[in-house]
Amino acid sequence: MPPTGQFHLAVLPGRTTFEEELMGAEVNSGRNTSLEALLAEFGYTHEQLADEVNRTAEQLFGKPANCTDRHVRRWIAGDVQRPWTQYLLPLQEIFGRGPEAMGFLERKSSKPLPTPAGPVQVRNADSLQRRTFIAGALVATLGIDQTPGHGRLGSSDIERIQGTISRLDAHFNGLGGGALVDVAVEYLLRLRHALDHCVYGERVERALNRAMAEVAACAGWSAHDCGQHERAAQLRNEALQAALLARDPVSVTRAWSDLAAQAEHGGRPAEAARINRAALSERHVRNHPLLSSLLHSRLADCLAQTGDPKSMGRHLAAAERTYDRVEVTGTPSWLRFLTHAELAGLAAIAHQSAGQYVHGEGHAARTLELLDERFTRNRAYYTVLLAELQLAQGEYERASATASSIRMDAVSSSRITARLERVTEVIRSQGGRT
**Do 251 and 299 sit in the same domain of this protein?**
no
**Do 299 and 408 sit in the same domain of this protein?**
no
pLDDT bracket for residue 127 (50, 70, 90) = very low
Q: Does residue 174 surpass a pLDDT of 90?
A: no
pLDDT bracket for residue 291 (50, 70, 90) = very high
Task: Say how many C-beta atoms besides its own lie within 10 A of residue 63's C-beta.
Answer: 12
431 part of a folded domain: yes
394 part of a folded domain: yes
**Do 157 and 259 sit in the same domain of this protein?**
yes
- Domain span including residue 98: 18-102
125 part of a folded domain: no
**Do 255 and 274 sit in the same domain of this protein?**
no
Query: What is the structure's pLDDT at 170?
Result: 82
**Do 176 and 250 sit in the same domain of this protein?**
yes
Kindly state the average pLDDT of the residues 367-374: 91
**Do 316 and 411 sit in the same domain of this protein?**
no
**Do 274 and 248 sit in the same domain of this protein?**
no
Domain final position from 232, 266, 300 = 266
Q: Does residue 4 surpass a pLDDT of 60?
A: no
Q: What is the CATH number of the domain that holds 72?
A: 1.10.260
Per-residue pLDDT tens over the stretch 42-53: 777 888 899 888
Q: Where are the alpha helices (DSSP H) in 248-339?
A: 249-265, 269-280, 283-286, 289-305, 309-323
pLDDT bracket for residue 13 (50, 70, 90) = very low
**Do 317 and 367 sit in the same domain of this protein?**
no
Mean pLDDT for the chain overall: 81
Q: Which residue has the higher pLDDT, 137 or 119?
A: 137
Q: Residue 199: beta bridge partners?
A: 152
315 part of a folded domain: yes
Per-residue pLDDT tens over the stretch 64-91: 788 999 999 999 998 888 888 788 888 8
Query: What is the structure's pLDDT at 24?
Result: 33
Task: Say how many C-beta atoms besides its own lie within 10 A of residue 130's C-beta.
Answer: 11
pLDDT bracket for residue 137 (50, 70, 90) = low
**Do 273 and 261 sit in the same domain of this protein?**
no
| Residues 6 or more apart whose Cβ sits within 8 Å of residue 268 | none
Domain final position from 102, 117, 133 = 102
141 part of a folded domain: no
Q: Which residue has the higher pLDDT, 43 or 419?
A: 419
| Burial bucket for residue 110 (CB in 10 Å: 0-12, 13-18, 19+) | middle
Cα–Cα distance measured from residue 13 to residue 22, given in angstroms and rounded to the nearest whole number: 12
Cα–Cα distance measured from residue 368 to residue 348, given in angstroms and rounded to the nearest whole number: 11
Number of domain units in the chain: 4
Per-residue pLDDT tens over the stretch 320-352: 999 988 876 678 888 888 999 999 999 999 999
Q: Residue 116: beta bridge partners?
A: 9
Per-residue pLDDT tens over the stretch 210-264: 999 999 999 999 999 888 888 999 999 999 999 999 999 999 999 999 999 999 9
6 part of a folded domain: no
**Do 183 and 258 sit in the same domain of this protein?**
yes
Domain final position from 236, 266, 296 = 266
**Do 363 and 308 sit in the same domain of this protein?**
no
Kindly state the average pLDDT of the residues 388-417: 89
28 contacts 78 by C-beta, under 8 angstroms:
yes
**Do 82 and 165 sit in the same domain of this protein?**
no
3 part of a folded domain: no
Report which of 79, 74, 98, 78 is spatially closest to residue 88, judged by C-alpha positions: 98
338 part of a folded domain: no
